[in-house]
Amino acid sequence: MGIRERLSGNEAAATAMKQINPDVVAAFPITPSTEIPQYFSTFVSNGVVDTEFVAVESEHSAMSACIGAEAAGARAMTATSANGLSLMWEMIYIASSLRLPIVMSLVNRAVSGPLNIHCDHSDAMGVRDSGWIQLFSETNQEAYDNLIMAHRIAENKDVLLPLMVCQDGFITSHSIENIELIEDEKVKEFVGKYKPEHYLLNKQEPIAIGPLDVQTYLFEHKAQQAKAMEAAKKVILEVAEDFEKLTGRKYGFFEEYKLEDAEIAIVCMNSTAGTAKATVNRLREQGIKAGLLKVRVFRPFPAKEIAEALKNLKAVAVLDKADSLNAAGGALFEDITSGMFVNNVQVPTVNYVYGIGGRDTTVEELEKVYKDLLEIKESGKIENPYRYLGLRGEN
């Protein structure tokens, strides 16, 4: 029986970290993720965990410290947001290229400039191709659950890639929700001990970490990273199956909400899914066959599986909470449409960039998206696939 609590998303993340009890946590404060290491540091000072907490001078140093700890054979975690992740950028790539299964809580926030501390997904999208596994979380419960599963995924011998758990800044990070925690001992047993095969402090096997990797080898090493990301798909589902046995909570690559008989649907990530579900419920009461596909696993991207889930629809809208500034749609839209094309699924699909800088997105606005989809369903035509939702001056 789980432990019923009321926690903010940041508290939930810190609680998961406490139960995991990593060897090292290195962090530098940045809104809106600051509370995670702040809460965790109290667990350290109170002796609840025996983690080595490293208060560094920047986010670049935070990831550098995690890389050093993980390379030495320790389990390492951190948390950051937006500009902090940007400052880590160099080390983010190094962490994945060295195949170090660091786990990070990423509280999504707009990347400057101009300065904005509120939620969009520009930080996560900026590192989407860096070789990190990316899990997205609609609720505080999902942020907690994803972190509990994270090390089992990242540390699997067929994966060995770092992993970030994303949640929406302020929307979930600071909002208090009912949550069901797992008992400490059960978490400890589920996560298990970190037993790296190769690490710097193993005196029986002297190794080098991060040597010069010239044209003779780098291509092959990048191909190995790609294969590891592909292997992560199977591992993610295996870990989710074990997690369901433990908690009764089921997770996959994505969640299908009233999609089985839907004719039109929205695809989105994180907390917007909650608003979309409310919209679907309202439209269903009007006899409109609306549905939702909420993406949980963005990297590795489950292209084939998503295409299969969307193939029977008449029209689809993909919502991106970040603009790729490429004149060809947001990152999620590009991946969805590419996956559909490659898998021979032909469904009219439009993109809506929304919520930039934390702008609210309402049920009424999402209703307009579904109404647009109804028009596309009837006409079979898309005049403009690249659209904005909630932009002042736009219809």
User: Are 317 and 337 spatial neighbours (Cβ–Cβ below 8 Å)?
Assistant: no
Question: Which residue, 247, 263, 290, sits at the end of a domain?
Answer: 247
Whether omega before 114 lies within 30 degrees of 0, making that bond cis, reads yes
Contact, 153 vs 235, CB < 8 A?
Answer: yes
In a domain, 106, yes or no: yes
pLDDT exceeds cutoff 80 at 394: no
My answer on whether 227 and 129 are in the same domain is yes
318 and 360 housed in the same domain:
yes
Q: What is the pLDDT of residue 1?
A: 64
Task: Please identify, among 247, 280, 313, the residue that sits at the C-terminal boundary of a domain.
Answer: 247
Percent of the chain clearing pLDDT 70 (strictly above): 99
Q: How far is CA 338 from the centre of its chain?
A: 20
Residue 203 lies in a domain: yes
Let me know whether 118 and 258 are in one domain: no
What is the tally of structural domains in the chain?
Answer: 2
Question: What is the rounded CA–CA span in Å between residue 111 and residue 95?
Answer: 21
Domain assignment of residue 394, yes or no: no
Which domain CATH number covers 269? 3.40.50.920
Q: Is residue 383 in some structural domain?
A: yes
Q: Are 266 and 171 members of one domain?
A: no
Mean of pLDDT values over 95-116: 97
Q: Are residues 364 and 219 in the same domain?
A: no
State the average pLDDT over residues 371-383.
Answer: 95
Residue 366 lies in a domain: yes
Which one of 247, 267, 289 terminates a domain? 247
Beta 163-168 vs 133-136: how paired, if at all? Answer: parallel
CATH code, domain with 46: 3.40.50.970
State the pLDDT at residue 393: 86
User: Does residue 221 share a domain with residue 91?
Assistant: yes
39 and 161 assigned to the same domain: yes
Region 325-333: mean pLDDT is 96
pLDDT of residue 8: 98
Residue 395: pLDDT band with limits 50, 70, 90:
low
Is 182 in contact with 148 (CB distance < 8 Å)? yes
Print the domain residue range for 330. 254-389
- Reported confidence tier of residue 259, pLDDT bands at 50, 70, 90: very high
- Please indicate, yes or no, whether residues 165 and 243 belong to a single structural domain of this protein: yes
- Res 261: pLDDT: 98
pLDDT value at residue 241: 98
Looking at the predicted structure, is the pLDDT value of residue 109 above 70? Answer: yes
Q: Are residues 196 and 151 in the same domain?
A: yes
Is 60 exceeded by the pLDDT of residue 118?
yes
Mean pLDDT, residues 146-171 taken together: 98
What is the band of 232 on the pLDDT scale with cuts at 50, 70, 90? Answer: very high
Residue 2 pLDDT more than 90?
no
Residue 78 and residue 184 in one domain: yes
Q: Are residues 210 and 310 in the same domain?
A: no
What is this structure's pTM?
0.98
pLDDT one-digit tens code per residue, 21-75: 999 999 999 999 999 999 999 999 999 999 999 999 999 999 999 999 999 999 9
In a domain, 77, yes or no: yes
Cβ contact 144:15 at 8 Å: yes
Residue 378 in this model has a pLDDT that exceeds 90: yes
Same domain, 243 and 363: no
- Identify the sign of the CA torsion 54, 32, 254, 189: positive
